[in-house]
Structure 1
Amino acid sequence: MAEYYRHPDLAWLPITDVEPLRIALAWPRDSVNPLVEAFVLVVRELVEQDVS
């Protein structure tokens, strides 16, 4: 991430003494957006790969 978000005012330091961050993906139930649907599909596939 440090390479991706390179900026002279940012310093990236690893945090080793905390539990991993848990993130939830949420969107409006009635939202019909092909980009959101594609993003959700990719996230689900990545999560399945990580769990396996």
Structure 2
Amino acid sequence: MLAHVALQKLKILPSVLNELPQKERAFIYGSIMYQAEKDDKERKKLNNKV
């Protein structure tokens, strides 16, 4: 899932992502996970208002 988001949202090809140093990949994956959690919280907040 993380590589898919990197490709679709960040326009980072899987081959480029794979060649990044481990710390940079970890940062990108962490950022994607953080955004996903933030989006989930916002979605739940909106669903509770309905």
TM-score by length of 1: 0.46
Structure with greater proportional helix content: 2
Larger radius of gyration, structure 1 or 2? Answer: 1
TM-score by length of 2: 0.48
